Homo-oligomer: A and B are copies of this chain.
């Protein structure tokens, strides 16, 4: 039974020759010109279907076509996939992608991420529909049904009923509090983050053991678990020779927020249950995800994915593009504003279209029973300076003048360090990365431009300090746009 899912990933599932179906993304032709000054889309391309020239947001459309074709048969051994946290940024894109590829998908989500936005006064740049509207629209567009279980996996009885009802072959677990700054707001949120993430994952492990022992856990971790060691970062394990003896051991972890630490704790807990109970698990140590569109989320505006740009949930590249679009200087933390070498605040990054593909590859090539497998899930390394330069250059092409501003680093982290992380295992399984091209920057920039009127600039600056976090629950005063 093990390994029998591999066909879906190794077979040439993507028939070529079809023209891409254009989604609502053509909107970019009409995007907020007043903000742009003179915008000449020099890299525009012809749409294969309409013959119209469109902005570079569609420059990769032909490449995307493969993802839109009907998939080859999904192995019955990995057909039913439960996506925990399927209403979130990565989870929603993944759920749709898997559904499109022929997997039977159920979303399990407490929707608490939407509550965080209400509480913090943050919101996605893109106007997302309710989960009910999303799934209704997906059914309309694709003819496919995605089951929805609304509840908290920290409540075991709820999770138990999800497992008994859906009987998953694989569980993709995105269902955690995923913001480092959120975990550093105050003591109560630090505790919430660790409790929520650790207990949720323990519950998933027990549910697998008890109800679906063959089920493959695909767990989202983070590259941040490794920190920034002065040696190469391997994928999960490192072979150490010490005093004349050799062993391959878990790679040492040096996480730098209560959020990142919660992922380290999860990894240790999962590894233990693989050994003790024979659970099969893939730990995806994901880099910083950028982008908002996947082929499926582009099919209708009601399917659009969230795009966070605020100081709590926004990540560097997405935030930079939003800043550039409205003429706000790029806020580079710490020394990043100065000219530095490549080693400055370097991290691994990946396109959200690769996130969904990586998860699919993991599902289609499951770990063996009892195996704890770790993949580093990113495609390119960039320093923060490099990102800022890329955004500046892309802005120039759109006629936007982009400035950079150095702001005090709210985090405690090494700002200049060696960084070289391996990421070959997913490539070996067949990942064909979307590299951070100017086209993609244009697309992110254009999304920001379209929704510029929704941007609340007061949310952009970092407002959480790693050093100033206190014990008193922080009373949040919502910032009006």
Nearest CB on B from A160, distance (A): 7
- A194 pairs with B190, CB closer than 8 A: no
Told that A191-B203, A231-B246 touch, could you supply 4 new A-B pairs with CB distance under 8 A? A206-B471, A210-B471, A232-B242, A255-B268
- B251 pairs with A276, CB closer than 8 A: no
User: Does residue A253 face the partner (Cβ distance < 8 Å to B)?
Assistant: yes
Point out the residues of chain B lying under 8 angstroms from A231, CB to CB. Answer: 240-243, 245-247, 249
Point out the residues of chain B lying under 8 angstroms from A430, CB to CB. Answer: none
A231-B243, A231-B245, A251-B252 known; A467 vs B269 contact (CB < 8 Å) = no
- A202 pairs with B194, CB closer than 8 A: yes
User: Does residue A333 face the partner (Cβ distance < 8 Å to B)?
Assistant: no
Interface size on A, residues (CB 8 A): 53
Alpha-carbon separation in the docked complex, A253 to B261 (Å): 14
Alpha-carbon separation in the docked complex, A230 to B241 (Å): 10
Q: A221-241 toward B: CB 8 Å interface, digit per residue (1/0)?
A: 000000001111000001011
The listed residue with most B CB atoms (<10 A of its CB), out of A232, A256, A277, A471, is A471
Point out the residues of chain B lying under 8 angstroms from A202, CB to CB. Answer: 187, 190-191, 194, 258
- Can you name 6 A-B pairs with beta carbons within 8 Å? A187-B203, A187-B206, A194-B199, A238-B242, A238-B252, A258-B272
Residues of A within 8 A of B (CB): 156, 160, 187, 190-191, 194-195, 198-199, 202-203, 206-207, 209-210, 229-232, 238, 240-243, 245-247, 249-258, 261, 264-265, 268-269, 271-272, 275-277, 412, 418, 466-467, 470-471
- A247 pairs with B272, CB closer than 8 A: no
Nearest CB on B from A10, distance (A): 30
A156-B471, A231-B246 known; A276 vs B466 contact (CB < 8 Å) = yes
- B272 pairs with A256, CB closer than 8 A: yes
A198-B194, A261-B269, A471-B160 known; A240 vs B238 contact (CB < 8 Å) = yes
Alpha-carbon separation in the docked complex, A209 to B252 (Å): 26
Nearest CB on B from A196, distance (A): 11
A210-B470, A231-B245 known; A412 vs B276 contact (CB < 8 Å) = yes
- A199 pairs with B207, CB closer than 8 A: no
Alpha-carbon separation in the docked complex, A199 to B269 (Å): 16
Alpha-carbon separation in the docked complex, A269 to B240 (Å): 24
Point out the residues of chain B lying under 8 angstroms from A261, CB to CB. Answer: 265, 268-269, 272
Q: What residue in chain B is nearest A229 (Cβ atoms)?
A: B247
Alpha-carbon separation in the docked complex, A271 to B209 (Å): 32
Point out the residues of chain B lying under 8 angstroms from A160, CB to CB. Answer: 471
Nearest CB on B from A17, distance (A): 44
A195-B195, A242-B231, A261-B272 known; A253 vs B250 contact (CB < 8 Å) = yes
- A254 pairs with B250, CB closer than 8 A: yes
Q: What residue in chain B is nearest A211 (Cβ atoms)?
A: B471
- A252 pairs with B250, CB closer than 8 A: yes
Nearest CB on B from A58, distance (A): 41
Nearest CB on B from A267, distance (A): 10
Q: What residue in chain B is nearest A186 (Cβ atoms)?
A: B206
Q: What residue in chain B is nearest A210 (Cβ atoms)?
A: B471
Alpha-carbon separation in the docked complex, A256 to B250 (Å): 14
Alpha-carbon separation in the docked complex, A55 to B199 (Å): 51
Nearest CB on B from A299, distance (A): 39
Q: What residue in chain B is nearest A194 (Cβ atoms)?
A: B198
- B471 pairs with A207, CB closer than 8 A: yes
- A252 pairs with B249, CB closer than 8 A: yes
- B265 pairs with A268, CB closer than 8 A: yes
Nearest CB on B from A219, distance (A): 15
Alpha-carbon separation in the docked complex, A352 to B115 (Å): 50
